[in-house]
Structure formats: C-alpha cells, structure tokens
Structure 1
Amino acid sequence: MNNHEIDYVIHGNDMQFVEVELDPKETVIAEAGSLMMMEDSIEMETIFGDGSSQSGGFMGKIMGAGKRLLTGESLFMTAFTNDGGSKKKVSFASPYPGSIIPLDLSELGGKVICQKDAFLCAAKGVSVGVAFQKKLGTGFFGGEGFIMQKLEGDGMAFVHAGGTLHKVELQQGETLRVDTGCLVALTKDVEYDIQFVKGIKTALFGGEGLFFATLKGPGTVWVQSLPFSRLASRVFSSMPHNGGNEGEGSVLRRTFDMLGGD
C-alpha cells in the first residue's frame, strides 16, 4: 500500500466523531479545525497541501495545494503523527450534526468524488484533489457547483454530511434522481448530470428547486437527509430581522396594535 494503514472506530449516532488509532510513525491528515482530542506522543504539523506521495517535488505541492483553493478549502492541512513507541489515538468530529462515512479507497476503485466540504480526514498518502464536472450544465446549476473534491489512493478516508446517510448501490444502467444538495459522494464509474425540473409550475412553485442530479450506474452513491445549506436556510428564515423576537408573542402584539389596542 502507498497509504498508511490506520484503524478506526466511529462513535455516536446523530453527532458522530471518528477515533483513529495510529501505530508508531503512522500519520493521519485532517482539515483544519476538525480535531476533537488526541493522546500524548501525537505530534501536529501544518503541511502544504495533503502530503500525499503523488505530489512530485515543490511545484507539485504548489499545484496540489492551489487546487484546494478552488474548492473553498485552505492551502494547508494538519498532519497528526504518532511519535511514541506504542499505539495512540486521535479523534476528529464533524462541524455540524450528521454522520461520518468510512471509505476504504482500495475497495472503491481507488477514487471517490464527493461534495467540496465533505472531507474530514484520511490516512497519509490519500490525495485530496479537484474533480471538474465535464458538462457546463452540471457545473453551473449543480448544487455542489462546478468543482467537487476527488479522493484518490488505497487507504482509508472519512467524509461527513448532515442528517442520516444512506448508501445506494446502482446496477448497470440503473438511474437515481437526487436533490442536488443531498448528494454526498459517488464512486468513479457513476455518471453524474443535472436535469431541469419539467413543468413551469413545478419549477416555480414546487419548493424543490429548479434542478436535480441524475445518477446512472453502475456504482455506489451516498445521500444525506439534511444538507447543511437546507438547515442554514431554515435557521436564517426563523431569525428576527428587526432586532426583536419574531415569535408568537410579537405577532400577537402587532395584531393587537393594528386593531387599535394600547
């Protein structure tokens, strides 16, 4: 294997975290801010890019790190290495309520495409790159944008998403239509496209958006029940907009005032 071999345990149900066990000199890479806790003898180091062995030379590292900017991520990642003489543990948590998916890339064809903010952590050697959508329609109207993340290698990687995660196995030629925001990840053989919702009334008044993702097998797809964008939209719509509480009490007060009450 080119990647470090790591053991792991996922804890929790609705607000999960992953506990990674490192042998001496083993390393796991993670997005900045995802650390939950770690035992002694584990050393942290900020690295340029993902630290994968696929990046050749200084310019290779520059290009690999630069691509991360296109996905809205930082140029840097954090490497956690066990410098002790025995096994040690380090844990990483999701940034919002949801689930964590363990992906053994050696069993998934060495490559998985995921939404740009789904990556949580991985064994050192896993390449975190950029996947460009081939069709302009997919790029401009897909819920995940023109650019998605690409995880390559033969080690373990972990991605997270909101709500409950559901795994769908698509057979040859089988098609699945998904809300664009609910798509989390897919294996490399799955064909991914964007389709316009038919019917002007459905598109404008259906409340489900103008586009959905069409996924064609064979391959594996992971879907989330509660995209963070949907959660954030509901929270924002419930926030007071005039500096006061917009709850039931305020509604009744405004009604009373309109009727001439004191």
Structure 2
Amino acid sequence: MQHRIEGHSLPVLTVFLDPNESVVAETGELSWKSTNVSLSTTLGGGQNAGFLGAVKRSVAGGGLFMTEYTAEGGPGYVAFAAKVPGAIVEHVITPGRSVMVHRHGFLCGQQGISVGLGFQRSLGAGIFGGDGFRLQQVSGQGSFFALLGGHVVSNVLAPGEQIDVHPGHVGMFEDSVDFGISMLPGIRNKLFGGDGFFVARLTGPGRVWLQTLTVPGLAHALAPYLGAETTTATAEGGLLGAAAAGIFRKIMQ
C-alpha cells in the first residue's frame, strides 16, 4: 500500500491501492476516490470483527461502523482530508505491540489493524467539559495513519524518563510508555491556575507524539469571535433590511 501526504496546516492523505487491496477507515472520513474503489460499511472492518469489537471501538471514541475501501478491476486510490488543522502521522504496528492514540486520532489503516479502547478515566467537569479522557488502542499488524492536532512534537523517552503533559496534548505513544494521571500540586494551581486539576505523566521507554492543538481548545478560542460576528451580522442585516425597505417605499411613492 503506497500513500502520499500533501499540505501543511490542513493535510490530505491519499492511499494508492493495488487491485483487490483494501484500507479501513472510520465512517464519514472519505474525501474523494477513484471510481473503481468500492465501499463496504460494516460493524467490523480489518481486525475489528463482531459487535463486541464495534462497541469497544465506539467507547474509545470511534463509531460503531467502519468503512472498507477496496480497489476493484485495477489499481485505485482513496483520499482522506483533515477536518481540523494538524498533521497526519504514519506508524507501523508489529505483532504483539500497540500504540495509544487520542480518542479521535485514528484515520485509516490496513486490514490487519485493530482499533479498541485502550484507556478511559473520568476527570470531572474541570477538564474536557466532564467528557472524561479516553485513548484508542491500535494493535494488530500493518500500517495505520493518525490525525494529530496542530504541530506534532515527537520525543523518545529513555527508560525511567518522565514528562507531564496536559491530557489534551497527548496525541499518541507506544505501548512501552507507562501512562498515568496525576493531580497538579497546590490548592492555588487547582482553583486559579486555569490548567485543570490533572496532568498526564508519561514514563519511558518509548516514543511519544504530542499535539499542540486540541479541538476543545480551538472551540474555546473561536467562541468569543463567533458570538460577536453572529451578533454583528444580525445587527447589520437588520440595518440593511431597514434601509432597503425605505428605498423601496420611496421608489413606489
């Protein structure tokens, strides 16, 4: 399976398929494809067969269904474009190993890839709006692609080396990395620091991928402007409407 990643802030992944070769993705990820690539939406897909596998994947942040894209009658291609500014990262899974990915990070992968629930913990209303913290576990054998938000910072942690990360900035890490949740020290940090009560503590050895942009952070940053623009547009629309009505009445007199 060959691929090409184009673009920077809003990249697109194009996967080139040999005849009868398939790639599996979450439903709704398709951007464009060649006409000979067929779609098959099932509860399974890849190594996620069966209802139980679909439920685990759904709890992890994916959907109940997955879509399998297969090239028929010759080579074909299928493209998946990023929905938020970020980077598309490829990783190869070997048997007996896995990678933890943030809850909406899995984009697509080969048929030998399995996606399930890797970690779930409720962190309360102080962080992520009470939605809790979940990680997808990608295992099996083959290549998969993850979409991480903003710029990606990749580090290899030495054995015993630790790093504290705001949970939303944890993009992906190898299963050899130990993952834990710690509370920020100090009552002032918890009440007035603005950083939430918890941090993720990652302990090596292994590679970690940190993302600079989180979807809740993007939504929070845009919210004041969206509200102001909506109010301004409504007011301007009202004034323009009144002016147009006045001109129309004068013409008709």
Tell me whether the two structures share a fold, i.e. TM-score over 0.5.
Answer: yes
Once residues 38 and 214 of structure 1 are traced to their aligned partners in structure 2, the CA distance between those partners, rounded to angstroms, is 41
Within the candidate set 2, 5, 9, 1:7 is matched to 2
Matched, 1:19 2:6: no
C-alpha contact 2:15 2:77 (8 A) present in aligned 1: yes
Instruction: Give how far 1:206 is off.
Output: 2.1
Give the secondary structure class of the aligned counterpart of 1:203.
helix
- 1:187 maps onto 2:174 in alignment: yes
Asked whether the equivalents of residues 60 and 116 of structure 2 are also in contact (C-alpha less than 8 Å), the reply is no
Q: Deviations over 1:213-234 (max 9, x none)?
A: 1000001111001111100111
Distance 1:77 1:226, change over 3 A: same
Query: Do structure 1's residue 77 and structure 2's residue 66 form an aligned pair?
Result: yes
More displaced 10-residue stretch of structure 1: 65-74 or 115-124: 65-74
Which of 213, 224, 228 is equivalent to 2:200?
A: 213
Q: C-alpha distance in 1, partners of 2:68/2:34?
A: 14
**Which position in structure 2 is the counterpart of 1:254?**
none
Name 2:216's counterpart in structure 1. 229
Give the drift of 1:237: 3.4
Moved more, 34-43 or 146-155: 146-155
Q: How does the TM-score come out when normalised to structure 1?
A: 0.80
* Partner residue of 2:93 out of 96, 105, 108: 105
Q: Tell me, which stretches of 5 or more residues in structure 1 are unaligned?
A: 1-5, 56-60, 134-138, 247-262
C-alpha distance in structure 1 between counterparts of 2:181 and 2:85, whole Å? 27
Residue among 59, 62, 77 paired with 1:89: 77
Q: Aligned letter for 2:62?
A: E
Amino acid at match of 2:187: I
Q: What secondary structure does 1:35 align onto?
A: coil
Which residue does 1:3 correspond to in 2?
none
TM-score by length of 2: 0.83
- Matched residue, 2:163: 176
- Judged with a 3 Å threshold, the aligned counterparts in structure 2 of structure 1 residues 40 and 244 are, in CA distance, closer, same or farther, namely closer
1:53-84 CA-partner distances (Å, limit 9, x unpaired): x74xxxxx111112223134321111100112
Q: Supply the RMSD in Å over aligned alpha carbons.
A: 2.2
Alpha-carbon distance between aligned partners in 1 of 2:179 and 2:144, rounded to the nearest angstrom: 22
1:96-126 superposed Cα distances (whole Å, 9 cap, x missing partner):
11111101113x9631111111111111121
Matched, 1:155 2:142: yes
- Any conservation in 2 of the 1:50–1:128 contact (CA below 8 Å)? no
Q: 1:219 to 1:244 in 2, by over 3 A?
A: same
Alignment correspondent of 1:140: 122
Tell me the CA shift for residue 177 of structure 1.
0.9
Percent identical pairs in the alignment equals 34
Residue aligning to 1:201: 188
